[in-house]
Amino acid sequence: MSSVIEESKNGAESAVLALHKQFLDADQPSADLLPFNKKALDIFESLKFPHRKHEMYTFVNTKVLADTSFSLKTENSVQNSFVKQHIYAGCERSHLTFVDGALCPELSDATALGTSVKIGSLIEAVKDESFKNILQKSIEQENDVFASINSAFMKQGVMVKVSRDKQVEVPLQILNVSSGGDSGPVMTVPRAYIHLEPSSELKLIVKYVGDGSNYFVNSVQDMVIEDNATLTHIQIEADSKDAWNFSKNRIFLKRDSKYLGYQTVSGTRLVRNHNEVWLNESGAEMELNGVSVLEEDEQSHQFVRVHHEVENCTSHQYFKNIINDRARASFDGTVVVNKGAQLTNSDQLINNLMLSDEGHADCKPNLMIFADDVKCAHGATVGQLDDDQLFYLKTRGLSESVAKEILTQSFARSIVQKIPFEPVVKELDETLLKKLVANNE
Amino acid sequence: MLEIKDLHSAVEGIEILKGISLTIKKGEVHAVMGPNGSGKSTLAKVLSGHPAYEVTSGEVLFQGKNLLDLSAEERSLVGIFMGFQYPVEIPGVNNAEFLRMAYNARLLNEGKDEVDPLDFDDILQEKMDMLGMEDKYKERSCNDGFSGGEKKKNEILQMAILKPVLSILDETDSGLDIDALRIVADGVNKLNGDDNALILITHYQRLLDHIKPDFVHVISGGKIIKSGGKELAHELEAQGYDWLTTAN
Ligand SMILES: Nc1ncnc2c1ncn2[C@@H]1O[C@H](COP(=O)(O)OP(=O)(O)OP(=O)(O)O)[C@@H](O)[C@H]1O
Ligand SMILES: [Mg+2]
């Protein structure tokens, strides 16, 4: 049996190589990005497909994914009406729509952003020497095999740059639509580079939806937040039921800058978020919140690495998972407090609510501390609904199912309510609640 | 209204109530006193339908019907209310919303329509004013981070909203300061008319100065070892329980 897995693993790697050949021959990769594609493929070959013993994929079974032979999507189309229903109130004139990873200008409108936000394609962006270096470095130092696949197939992508001192009032939404594979599974590789110049501010909402099935969204986002700038990043995964969604966010924080991240997963075959954050200069702050509501065989996996490189930085992580049926969630998070990162303030808290006996939650909060004057805390819980709370609600005349619903929703709500963008809060209150109610019946 | 006949109850196989009998009529106020661990809260929980407390024998009739057949929510809907000795904190559940849901559950059970949220706000405001509760208790999560006294007030607020037939208040006075005690007691007195009845579990005479009991019962070791009029409470306050338990 193990030899079959071994074989399929090699098979999966050669399938990616074959796909890449086809990409080079037939997909007209961009000449400016081509050197990066090739470099990334080398990295891919050195990283190899992960197996269960791989430290980055301890809790994620990638076998089915590796065994699936994907093709690349070239023809893509999606209805304007479909896009419209996924654009949040307030983003009507500040959204970029990507279909299968490619920007669709006719489905985008960024007029409300004015001149303070520069939007361009990565093909343009790499003509700038300093950006080229950043991209180069991020590809060369890639540690995640799926992100290296993204880079190997990167054809365009988007760059969003907020000018110095500009506090952008209107939120920017990036909508990633996957149109799905009609004749077999497809992979798409959305790629974004977000850059906040000093003292600027941006609220970015990235939403993933499917207008079809049978697809794998494999995205990478690089984010640079300069001195005193603040990026609010809300990521909503609302893909089709049988989709795979892997995303890697790489976040670099400079002096006194701030990253506020919110990630919600409302259930898909397999979601994996890889967040890697570098607190590179004093006074940098980051907060990462996540909530997943899972049922049936859905999976949501969080992999987080936070690097406290210097003194006086803070990092907070709060994750909650609601797990029903045979669903699985995992959290694998390490905070590295390097030598010299004195006065670090860091915490991690993961709570899992199990609604069934067959569900599964894995937690590995981890601290690696090489400084002595730090305040770090971490914890994880796995539990059922609280009997005393249930009884209390029932003594006030609420039925068992209503009481369960209230408690389950309140569990998710503490994260949802933090999201600093009302339309998303409202949407989640509805979608998550609907799912929870259906669960209880 | 309520008839408890030789009630025995066990938790995790250990018998705690060892034969309680008590009859309560409309309009009456019964005080239940007794040493720590004697079974007072257990009685309250059994009456309100806590699933962990198994009734091993005995009978409880409420308005002529077998109460023990009903689930906790059904008991609430027929008009039984328990004010918890230790009200449970429910983070993430907005207090006002929770109260409205409870109120609506009652209305739906009576075959009526749900209340308009604005109308409910008026009802709630009136009750909160009566109890001297500030507005912030609407927006906060139910009991979450409330002080001991605030939690007890919140219990009485629920009682005021639900207008129960029979209220069992388990040490509602503990944790209340003197002013709060008076306000809460006045509120309870207002809510307790000729058609209602009240069981007050307490350790202190000072509550009974405000809410005058018709009967006082002493529970010890899971049994009622003495019943009397309100003067019994004074004797207990002066002498403690020892003279009773040793006499038994
Ligand atoms: N859920 C439970 N599990 C185990 N033992 C319990 C449980 N509930 C009550 N008991 C035990 O039953 C006995 C009676 O408890 P109960 O709470 O009814 O006392 P009480 O008279 O209300 O005391 P107090 O005056 O301290 O409130 C105690 O010995 C207590 O430890
Ligand atoms: Mg008690």
> pLDDT tens digits for B138-150?
889 999 989 888 9
CA–CA separation, A417 vs A231, rounded Å?
18
Query: Is residue A425 less than 8 Å (CB to CB) from chain B?
Result: no
Number of domains in chain A: 1
Residue A420 forms part of a structural domain = no
Q: Write out chain B residues lying below 8 Å of A394, CB-based.
A: 49, 71-73, 76
Nearest to A278 by CA among A216, A363, A347, A341: A341
Cβ separation of B162 and A396 shorter than 8 Å?
Answer: yes
Cβ separation of A397 and B92 shorter than 8 Å?
Answer: no
Q: Is B41 in the pocket of ligand 1 (CB under 6 A)?
A: yes
Give A146 or B239, the one with higher predicted confidence: A146
Residue B26 backbone dihedrals phi, psi, to 5 degrees: -50, 140
- The full DSSP string for B133-168 is --THHHHSBTTTT--HHHHHHHHHHHHHHH--SEEE
Nearest to A345 by CA among A414, A287, A302, A304: A287
Residues B145, B89 contacting (CB under 8 angstroms): yes
Structural domains of chain B ordered from first start: 2-247 (3.40.50.300)
Of A394, A397, A410, which has the smallest distance from its Cβ to B93's Cβ? A410
A395 to chain B, closest Cα gap in Å: 5
Q: Ligand 1: which of B9, B12, B16, B203 to mutate, most ligand atoms within 8 Å of CB?
A: B16
Residue B219 CA: which ligand 1 atom is closest?
Answer: 21
User: How far away, in angstroms, is B38 Cα from ligand 1 center?
Assistant: 7
User: How far away, in angstroms, is A140 Cα from ligand 2 center?
Assistant: 66
Q: Write out chain A residues lying below 8 Å of B102, CB-based.
A: 396-398
Cβ separation of B105 and A402 shorter than 8 Å?
Answer: yes
Nearest to A246 by CA among A283, A271, A225: A271
Residue A295 forms part of a structural domain = yes
Q: Write out chain A residues lying below 8 Å of B151, CB-based.
A: none
DSSP H or E run through B187 = helix B178-191
Residues A421, A234 contacting (CB under 8 angstroms): yes
Residues B134, B100 contacting (CB under 8 angstroms): no
Closest ligand by atom to B38 CA = 1
Q: Is the pTM of this model over 0.80?
A: yes
Residue A291 forms part of a structural domain = yes
Of B76, B91, B109, which has the smallest distance from its Cβ to A396's Cβ? B76
Residue B43 CA: which ligand 1 atom is closest?
Answer: 18
Residue A50 forms part of a structural domain = yes
Residue B53 backbone dihedrals phi, psi, to 5 degrees: -100, 110
Q: Is B48 in the pocket of ligand 1 (CB under 6 A)?
A: no
Mean pLDDT of chain B: 92
Span B200-218, mean pLDDT?
91
CA–CA separation, A63 vs A30, rounded Å?
31
Q: Could you report the per-residue pLDDT of A44-90, keeping only the tens digit for each?
A: 999 888 776 778 888 888 888 888 888 887 777 889 999 999 999 99
Residue A261 forms part of a structural domain = yes
Sequence-separated (6 or more) residues with CB below 8 Å from residue A308: A279, A315, A335, A336, A337, A338, A341, A344, A346, A371
Longest CA span, chain B? 58
**Tens-binned pLDDT, residue by residue, of chain A (441 aa):** 333 444 444 678 888 999 999 999 988 888 999 999 999 999 999 988 877 677 888 888 888 888 888 888 777 788 999 999 999 999 999 999 999 999 999 999 999 999 999 999 999 999 989 889 989 998 999 999 999 999 999 998 999 999 999 999 999 999 999 998 888 899 999 999 999 999 999 999 999 999 999 999 999 999 999 999 999 999 999 999 999 999 999 999 999 999 999 999 988 999 999 999 999 999 999 999 999 999 999 999 999 999 999 999 999 999 999 999 999 999 999 999 999 999 999 999 999 999 999 999 999 999 999 999 999 999 999 999 999 999 999 999 999 989 998 999 889 988 999 999 999 999 998 887 777 766 555
Query: Is residue A71 less than 8 Å (CB to CB) from chain B?
Result: no
A425 to chain B, closest Cα gap in Å: 14
| Percent of the residues in chain B that have a pLDDT greater than 90, as a whole number | 72
Q: Is B86 in the pocket of ligand 1 (CB under 6 A)?
A: no
First to last CA, chain A: 40
Residue A432 forms part of a structural domain = no
Residue B53 CA: which ligand 1 atom is closest?
Answer: 1
Longest CA span, chain A? 69
Residue A415 forms part of a structural domain = no
| SS3 state at A385 | coil
Closest ligand by atom to B219 CA = 1
Residue A360 forms part of a structural domain = yes
Query: Is residue A396 less than 8 Å (CB to CB) from chain B?
Result: yes
| SS3 state at B174 | coil
Query: Is residue A394 less than 8 Å (CB to CB) from chain B?
Result: yes
Residue A34 domain boundaries: 3-385
Cβ separation of B92 and A414 shorter than 8 Å?
Answer: yes
